[in-house]
Amino acid sequence: MRKPRFIAPNITYHVTSRIIECKNLMEEDSIKALFEYCITLAQAKYPFELINYQIMDNHIHLLIRTVEGGATISRIVQYIKSRFAQRFNKMMQRTGPVWNERFKDSIVEFADNPRIYLLNLLWYFANNPVRAGKVKSPFESYFGGSRAYFDSNYRPHLKITLHQYFLELGDTLEECIERLCAYCRGELLL
């Protein structure tokens, strides 16, 4: 029996989901762009905050904050994944499941130190494409929203809401970015 998902407004969820059999079905940039499009469809349909996201060849990471009066995390993610699966199958002229299993989530606010957990997630998202050999630096953009946290001039493809814990790092966006970078370099303890 699976554990019931905790559902509440004003909660930040780190969501992960894998492609069926962990195949690299999202390897092509056009497929990653399709997934981004499905996120924009969800943003138009449901009120929620997209804090960050990262699309990889065989899995996705979403950092979503639910809002008062908005949809549940289950409804938001189900909508994104089902819209993607429908469009992907049509585009590839295939049938059958696209996703491996029910999405997994962890809740930022339930961590021992929620701010540190969030900052670690931001760094993890940014480094995921580096570890996969897609980019050389975590500060490059690769089908995700991480660069919004490291470059004040960057305008992401999707509407990203910078998380409150990040914005509390300084008085200006530039100060928040500098403190996040210092934390990621191990030069700042919070």
Q: What is the pLDDT of residues 120-167, one digit of tens each?
A: 999 999 999 999 999 999 888 889 999 999 999 998 889 999 999 999
The CATH number fitting domain 12-184, selected from 3.90.230.10, 3.30.70.1290, 3.40.1160.10, 3.40.190.10: 3.30.70.1290
Burial 106-138 (b: 16+ CB within 10 A, else e): ebbeebeebbebbbebbbbbbbbbeeeeebeeb
92 pLDDT tier (thresholds 50, 70, 90): very high
Q: How many Å apart are CA 171 and CA 125, to the nearest integer? A: 24
Q: How many Å apart are CA 110 and CA 74, to the nearest integer? A: 18
Query: How confident is the model at residue 2, as a pLDDT?
Result: 73
Taking residues 96-116, report their average pLDDT: 95
User: Which has the closest alpha carbon to 183: 130, 132, 121, 136?
Assistant: 121
Residues paired with residue 65 on neighbouring β-strands, in sequence order? 12, 49
Count CB atoms within 10 A of the CB of residue 4: 6
Q: How many Å apart are CA 7 and CA 53, to the nearest integer? A: 20
Indicate if the pLDDT at residue 106 is higher than 90: yes
pTM over cut 0.75? yes
Q: How many Å apart are CA 190 and CA 179, to the nearest integer? A: 10
pLDDT tens digits, 8-21: 899 999 999 999 98
99 pLDDT tier (thresholds 50, 70, 90): very high
